[in-house]
Amino acid sequence: MVKPKTLTQNTAYYTLALVVQKVLAFVYFTFLARGLGVEDQGKYSFAFSFTTIFSVFVDVGLSSVLTREIAKDKEQTKKILANVLGVKLILSVFAYLLIVALINLMNYPPLTKQLVYLTGFIMLLDNFSGTFWGVLRGNQNLKYESIGGIIFQFLVVGLGLTLLAFNVSVTLQVLAVMAGSAFLCIFSYAEMRRRLRLKPHLELDKPLIKKLIIISIPFALTGILARLNTQVDTIFLSKIGCAAPSICEANVGIYSVATKIILAIHFIPLAFVAALFPALSEYFATDKKRLTDTFEKAMKYLMIMGMPIAFGILSLAPAFVPKLFGLEYKNSVLPLQVLAASLPFLFLTFPIGSLLNACSKQIQNTRQVAVAAAVNALLNIYLIPKLTYTGGAISSLVSTLVMLALGIFAARKITDYNKKYLWLSFGQCLVSGAVMGGILWFLLFKVSFLILIPLGVIIYIFLLFLTGGIKKREIEEMMMSLKLRRRAVPEGPVDGGLT
């Protein structure tokens, strides 16, 4: 049995590494966007978005299955790993050839194709890193994965900024990421061998592979749909809604700034759900009332977090986007504001998804992701030719609302949460956020946005207490509800990508 101390440390390592990596990635992206310019940034972002979609076809959910099966029976570690590596090696060849074929059939410019070839190789390296880390996760060890992820970010940022100083081509900037991914792959392999004294080999045991694939299907489907939902807008922008390839590349570059800012904020609900999931799992089995109370408080907590960020971006984007990224990215403001409007709703999808997974409703979660992905794709096809990057942002907003609506309905079947309490909380957060946003908008360009950010936090907290949206007792109860006698290791790799 795993010691509580070990599991608590794993959660702490995971959360700390996630925060550090997101901050480093965002800072680096800011310099990269300014250094490359809109068109090259568009090529860079497209190449990573395109190949990221195919990472699911290499992994097909096997990394999650690897971790779970090893956790159940550590004696089978060597055999399971050997077969997962064998399958992934075959799928890697297939996926890379598919990437090369598709990018040529779609008639992209030579430089874009070259970048895709490189990012495809990076995607494969990251997949094998995830496999090696999956073995350590199955043995309840996230410490070295967290360390490796942070070193990876520092390595890429250091190499990337050095190359930017010499004004090198976008191809060399991609090679900086490749160097980091190569290091991470070697490091993960070395740590797996060192910590577990395990020398992996390749094997293709058909009965075992069939069993693993059957188990991995739900994970694979969810992964594919999630990738499509987050990357499809970039793919469409690179091909439709523009008169020339250079315009498409500029559109992708402008949109990438908006999406990167929003993705950088994702660490807040991700870190929160890492602690929430084991609580919901335990309460579902032992105490349905505490399950309901914890879910309600989690929803309210993320409303409190998401609302000021959304209104802060809506108000301050016209000032900080040109300042941080340069005047050539001023058109990123509108799509960023549209995406920011989705943040409070996006935050709420995290505890709902956590509730569904904790209560063995993974298939329902997959259906919801599928519907949201379909809505997003259809809206992109319709709106991008008319509104370009703003159309992509609107599509993302609507698909988020669809996913939240479906999730709320599904959650109602699991737990009888207090709808009145949540609607009241949402209204209190909305009013507090809107008033804060109005004040910041009034002061915009009169006061530096660096001063307005902490000022906005103070105003929002004051208004939230004034409206009764938050009380000291509720904060204490929320922290207590997440304390467990036993804690579970978060599934999945630490997000090591800079893209």
For 16-30, the pLDDT digits (tens) are 777 788 888 888 999
Alpha helix (H) ranges present in 359-448?
362-414, 419-443
Q: Is the dihedral of CA 54, 153, 111, 234 positive or negative?
A: positive
Q: Give the pLDDT of residue 217.
A: 80
Q: Distance (Å, rounded) from C-alpha 89 to C-alpha 59?
A: 10
426 three-state secondary structure: helix
Residue 289: count of CB within 10 angstroms of its CB:
10
Q: Distance (Å, rounded) from C-alpha 301 to C-alpha 269?
A: 10
Q: Look up residue 71 and give its amino acid.
A: A
For 90-120, the pLDDT digits (tens) are 999 999 999 999 999 988 899 999 999 999 9
DSSP for residue 75: G
Nearest CA to 77 out of 131, 130, 129 is that of 131
Q: Distance (Å, rounded) from C-alpha 260 to C-alpha 268?
A: 15
- Residue 1 token pair: 């049995």
Q: Give the pLDDT of residue 382.
A: 94
To the nearest whole percent, how much of the chain has pLDDT over 90?
48
Q: Distance (Å, rounded) from C-alpha 226 to C-alpha 221?
A: 8
Q: Look up residue 62 and give its amino acid.
A: L
DSSP of 119-157:
HHHHHHHHHHHHHHHHHHHHTT--HHHHHHHHHHHHHHH
Q: Is the dihedral of CA 198, 202, 205, 210 positive or negative?
A: positive
- Residue 499 token pair: 């893209």
Positions in the chain short of pLDDT 50: 1-7, 481-499
| Alpha-carbon torsion angle 336, 338, 340, 341, nearest 10 | 170
Mean pLDDT rounded to a whole number for the chain: 85
